[in-house]
Structure 1
């Protein structure tokens, strides 16, 4: 019986399937590349995400091991919407998120690929991109007379004790009574010891031993009903940034930063 020339011979179907899939892969790769030329705007990033999602569905990569993007996020920096968009656009990349204030150390130590941190930070040798801003608030003990105000001028806090490193709030550092004259070197924190965590600092705020001045989302994340948060005039909005090792971001880090910029 003559064979039908329109049908592949036995044993050739696997090769033909691979060739067909390879052709489809090439076309979808071209689609992704064309979409990428429009990245950098919300519409362009959405187009890139749709093209990549179509490629992943139509031509999955068998036996491909998932890559992992390790992210360290400081408390109070909202990444949920960006992570959701990134997972849609990059279905073969797992995202591992750790909440920590040590994001820069995690990057330098090789424990993170990308960090979201509040400024100021020492970022020498790292790549970065703006992420967001937040207004500063002061955390006060409920018994503090200033806690009843709707808003506080920074000058009214010059006589209070700051439980943080003064360099974190340079505006307060410039007017602080305890950093002037004979009071230098006798700061109350020397008696309280090292307060390594925000939770410890807020314990002392509640006890009336001092104040902290931080971005509102950072303090709100601690959920402390025993302190009062009041907005502060005279302190610049605190900026957050995305940071990565080296000057040039690898592809998945660059994708994340691009999506974050589009969702800001």
Structure 2
């Protein structure tokens, strides 16, 4: 068995930034260090790992196969280290807390109250997450557990099913589909989808899809509210879980059930590296509440 390498997390952070930028100069600026120092640190990491991580020439910097593998593994490792530091600091300052993340439209009040009643010594807090950070919040220790909506990357997570719910199309109030009892996903083939297509793979995989092809990628939205405003003012559609669509009142949009795609699945997620019995206990309560 070979010697185990003690990986320096600082060098690993430097590597990730270079891998994201694929440019040592820009990476050095982001890290607020000089480019020669950054280059030396990356070379030292390559020496420690006995692997070339980047293929460099005068025109470009590219990840090698070893570099791609390290990038895949480095991000959760760095997130776990950050989460560890956060939990230790909280414990050192005498703040015993348990934090629950939740996505828009998901009601967590019952589960949180029941859990808090069992553990009066804990400060039980809630944090709203989004499609972009629902998993990241778990990995980085910003929340202990989080209600997440699939699909998500399962890597490094324990996922416990909680409930499933229908998905609906949100369209402008005067749209041709507004007011229909239900539609099929093919009815949206000519519409522009105002969200990440990976969130609606059934739309993405339509063979005759024409919506939005000439308009480029969907706009970047920070919230459901922004998506609904864009639907109301600029057209296009979004596909949302029923509870999310119902949570937001907007007189200029309508939601229509989609009857031929699967439901949205809500699961409770926590880090696979943590063994606290509180995690499983909260999961049992959350499942019972739904």
TM-score scaled by length of structure 1: 0.68
Task: Please tell me whether residue 120 in structure 1 is matched to residue 120 in structure 2.
Answer: no
Offset of residue 140 of structure 1: 0.6
Greater alpha carbon shift after TM alignment, 100-109 vs 240-249: 240-249
Shift of 1:194: 2.4
Q: Is 245-254 or 235-244 further displaced after alignment?
A: 245-254
Note if 1:242 corresponds to 2:274: no
Aligned match for 2:107, one of 78, 103, 106: 78
3-state SS in 2 of match to 1:229: strand
Q: CA RMSD in A?
A: 1.9
The equivalent of 1:87 in structure 2 is 116
The match for 1:196 among 222, 225, 249 is 222
Bigger Rg over Cα: 1
Deviation per CA, 1:124-166, whole angstroms, max 9, x where unpaired? 0111211111110110101111102111122211111111111
Deviation track 1:47-81 (CA, whole Å, cap 9, x = no partner) reads xxxxxxxxxxxxxxxxxx66210111111112111
Give the distance between the partners of 1:81 and 1:150, measured in 2 at CA: 32
Alignment of 1:133-148 (within 5 A): 133-148=164-179
Task: State the distance in 2 between where 1:208 and 1:144 align.
Answer: 12
Deviations 1:66-98 (CA, angstroms, capped at 9, x unpaired): 621011111111211111111121121111101
Aligned equivalent of 1:167: 198
On the 8 A contact 2:195/2:219 being kept in 1, the answer is no
2:194–2:219 Cα contact (<8 Å) kept: no
Q: CA deviation at 1:198?
A: 2.0
- Any stretches of 5+ residues in structure 1 without a counterpart? 1-64
Aligned residues: 194
Does residue 286 of structure 2 align to residue 263 of structure 1?
no
Q: C-alpha displacement at 1:214, in angstroms?
A: 0.9
* Counterpart Cα distance in 2 of 1:128 and 1:234: 26
Residue in 2 that maps onto 1:107: 138
Deviates more, 1:76-85 or 1:196-205: 196-205
Please say if 1:224 is aligned against 2:250.
yes
Equivalent residue number for residue 239 of structure 2: 213
State how far apart, in whole Å, the 1-side matches of 2:235 and 2:264 are.
24
Higher relative contact order (Cα pairs below 8 Å, separated by 6+ residues): 1
SS at match of 2:230: helix
The runs of 5 or more residues in structure 2 that have no matched partner are: 1-93
Structure 1 residue 262 displacement after superposition:
2.3
Matched, 1:152 2:178: no
Distance 2:285 2:173 in 1: 41
CA distance in 2, matches of 1:79, 1:110: 19
Q: Distance in 2 between matches of 1:203 and 1:189?
A: 19
Structure 1 residues 84, 193: CA separation in 2 closer, same or farther (over 3 Å shift)? closer
